[in-house]
Amino acid sequence: MRAIAIAVICSLLLAGASSAFAQEAAAWQQVAAGIPLGSKVKVETLDGGRMTATLMSVRGEGVVVKQNTRRPVAAITIPFADIARIERDNNKGINPGKAIAVGLAAGAGVILGLFAIALQFD
């Protein structure tokens, strides 16, 4: 009797869990559909894997991405059921303000260096 009760409870919990996973997969499908194709995305899977990739297509079963690596790799399909998080990567590189500040600092360093050299010859 006790084993039957445990089996019933486990089956109810698993049925609820599979329904929750299906709803979450549908939600990730909507999120992925809202990202323009060709965009860089950050993907995290349920097993803890992370990657930065280019979104190639959104299909019924998952997303097709091409991982951004130094060496070319084949595109892979990640099922929606395996996705823990997907978001568009908005990192565009260095901020223009920072680039200007670095340029000004380098220029000032060169000018101060030239003045120091000129003072050596006096």
Confidence band, pLDDT 50/70/90 cuts, at residue 13: low
> What is the C-alpha to C-alpha distance for residues 88 and 80, in angstroms, rounded to an integer?
16
Do residues 54 and 41 make contact, with C-beta atoms less than 8 angstroms apart? yes
- Give the model's pLDDT for residue 67: 92
Q: Hey, CA dihedral for 24, 28, 31, 33, is it positive or negative?
A: negative
Confidence band, pLDDT 50/70/90 cuts, at residue 28: confident
- Give the model's pLDDT for residue 17: 45
pLDDT in tens, 40-84: 999 999 898 999 999 999 988 899 999 988 898 999 999 998 999
Question: How much is the mean pLDDT over the chain?
Answer: 82
- Domain spanning 2-94: CATH 2.60.40.10: no
Quote the tokens at residue 49: 């894997």
DSSP state of 59: -
Q: Which residue has the tokens 């223009």?
A: 96
**pTM assigned to the model:** 0.58
Q: Where are the domains of the chain?
A: 2-94
